[in-house]
Amino acid sequence: MPTPVLICDDSSFARKQMARAIPASWDVEIGFASNGEEALEAIRAGRGDILFLDLNMPGLDGYQVLETIRREDLPTLVVVVSGDVQPEARERVRRLGALEFIRKPIDPERISELLDRFGIRLEADTTARRDLTGIESEVTDFDIYQEIANVAMGRAADLLARYLGVFVQLPVPEVRLITHDDLAGLLPDAHTEITAITQGFVSGPIVGEALLLFEEAHAQGLEDLLPELDCQAGEIRMDAANLLIGACLRGIADPLDAEFGLSHPVILPAGKPLTEQIRPFVRALAFRFVYRIEKHAMECELLLLFTEDSLPALSERVEALHA
C-alpha cells in the first residue's frame, strides 16, 4: 500500500519542485497542502505519514504546525524544507521534533539520502512516471517570483542574523505589479521619521532600484546591537543596506541566471517625499521584504523595484523555470 506523503507549502511552484524531487520509484501517494491548517487536517485524516513542511507561510507557519503535531502527538514524520537557512531556524525545528532541515532549492539526492539515514524505505518495484499534471498546471509566473523571493529573503536573513548575532523573523514577502501611484501605499507614513537608502542595479536588460527603509527608532535598535563598532550611525545603516540588498539580489539572480551590477548606495535626504526621489516609472514589479529582529526593537523594510522595460526579460527567464 502506498505511503501517504504530504507536501505543505504556500507556493505552488515550491510544491511542484518538491513533488518532482521525490523519486518515481518510491511507492507513495503524494498530497498537497497550501497552508498549515490544511496540513494538520490531512495528517489527522491519515494522509500524511511523511510531511515535507515549509516554514514561512500565511496563517499557521511551519513552527506552529510542528508545535501542534507535538502537542497532539500526531502520527507523521516531518522534514522541514525552507529558504530560511538561519542556524537558529534549524535548531528550533529540530527541538520541535522535525527529523531534519533541508534548504531550498531542493536537491533530490538529499531527499533520498536523508530518508535512508533514518531507515525509511519507500522503494517499490515500479518506475512508472508520476503524474504531476495537476500541480504543474497551477504554477504561474507570479508563483515562481514569490518562491524566488522566499529563498532570496532567507539568504539575506541568514547573513543578517550572523552579522548581528540574532534571530530574524521573516513575514511572507509580497510580489506584485504596481504603478508609481501605488508606491506611496508601500512606504511609511509621510510623518514617520525614517532613513531611506537607495541603490540601483542592472543585469543586461533587467534594471531596477532597491530601497531600504529604517524607521528612526528601529535604526537606533540596529546601532544598539553593534555597540562595539566605532563608526557613525550612517555607516552602520549603509553596511546593513549593502548586506541585505546584495544578498537579496544574489538570491533572485541565481535562479534567473543573471548577475547584477550595483551602484553605490545613497542615503536619501530627509524632508522630501520618497516618491519624488525614486526614479519615475509607469509600472514596476515590486518585491517587498520585511526583516524583524526577535526580542529587539529593530525592523527594516526592503523594496526591489524592477522597471516595466525589464518585464519581458524577466518573463523569458521565468518561463525556463516552468519546464
Q: Backbone dihedral region of 183: left (phi > 0), alpha (psi from -120 to 50 degrees) or beta?
A: alpha
When pLDDT is averaged across residues 105-133 and rounded to a whole number, the result is 72
The answer to which of 40-54, 116-130, 271-285 has the lowest mean pLDDT is 116-130
pLDDT of residue 173: 94
Q: What is the distance between the terminal CA atoms of the chain, rounded to a whole angstrom? A: 31
Residue of 1, 92, 87 lying closest to 53 (CA atoms) = 92
pLDDT of residue 9: 96
Residue of 316, 2, 315, 322 lying closest to 135 (CA atoms) = 322
pTM: 0.89
The answer to which of 90-94, 226-230, 263-267, 300-304 has the lowest mean pLDDT is 226-230
Bigger pLDDT: 133 vs 60: 60
Span 187-213, pLDDT tens digits: 877 667 888 999 999 999 999 999 999
pLDDT of residue 139: 86
C-alpha cell at 311: 518585464
Residue of 104, 109, 91 lying closest to 23 (CA atoms) = 109
When pLDDT is averaged across residues 108-134 and rounded to a whole number, the result is 70
Q: List the alpha helices (DSSP H) in the chain.
A: 12-21, 36-44, 62-72, 87-95, 108-117, 133-138, 141-164, 183-186, 216-224, 233-256, 311-321
pLDDT band at 145; cut points 50, 70, 90: very high
Cell numbers 531611506 correspond to 196
CATH fold for domain 3-138: Rossmann fold (3.40.50)
Chain region(s) in the chain for CATH 3.40.50.2300: 3-138
Chain region(s) in the chain for CATH 3.40.1550.10: 141-321
Q: Between 108-117 and 12-21, two packed helices, what is the crossing angle to 10 degrees? A: 60
pLDDT of residue 124: 62
Q: Which DSSP symbol is given to 305?
A: E
The answer on pLDDT for 236 being more than 80 is: no
CA distance 119 to 86: 27
Ranked by mean pLDDT, which of 33-37, 127-131, 239-243, 295-299 comes out on top?
33-37
CA distance 45 to 31: 12
CB within 8 A of 71, min separation 6: which ones? none
The answer on pLDDT for 234 being more than 80 is: no
Is the CA virtual torsion 224, 230, 233, 238 positive or negative? Answer: negative
Q: Between 36-44 and 62-72, two packed helices, what is the crossing angle to 10 degrees? A: 30
Q: Is 50 exposed, middle or buried (0-12, 13-18, 19+ CB in 10 A)?
A: buried
pLDDT band at 316; cut points 50, 70, 90: very high
When pLDDT is averaged across residues 43-60 and rounded to a whole number, the result is 95
Cell numbers 517587498 correspond to 288
With beta carbons less than 8 A apart as the criterion, state whether 263 and 199 touch: yes
CB within 8 A of 23, min separation 6: which ones? 108, 111, 112
pLDDT of residue 126: 54
The answer on pLDDT for 273 being more than 80 is: yes
Q: How many CB atoms lie within 10 A of CB 205?
A: 14
Mean pLDDT estimate for the chain: 88
The answer on pLDDT for 65 being more than 70 is: yes
CB within 8 A of 165, min separation 6: which ones? 225
pLDDT of residue 117: 84
C-alpha cell at 286: 515590486
Longest CA pairwise span in the chain (Å)? 70
The letter for the amino acid at 268 is L
- 197: part of which helix (H) or strand (E)? strand 194-203
CA distance 266 to 237: 11
Span 5-15, pLDDT tens digits: 999 999 999 99
CA distance 29 to 22: 11
The answer on pLDDT for 229 being more than 70 is: no
When pLDDT is averaged across residues 228-253 and rounded to a whole number, the result is 79
Q: According to CATH, what is the number of the domain 141-321?
A: 3.40.1550.10
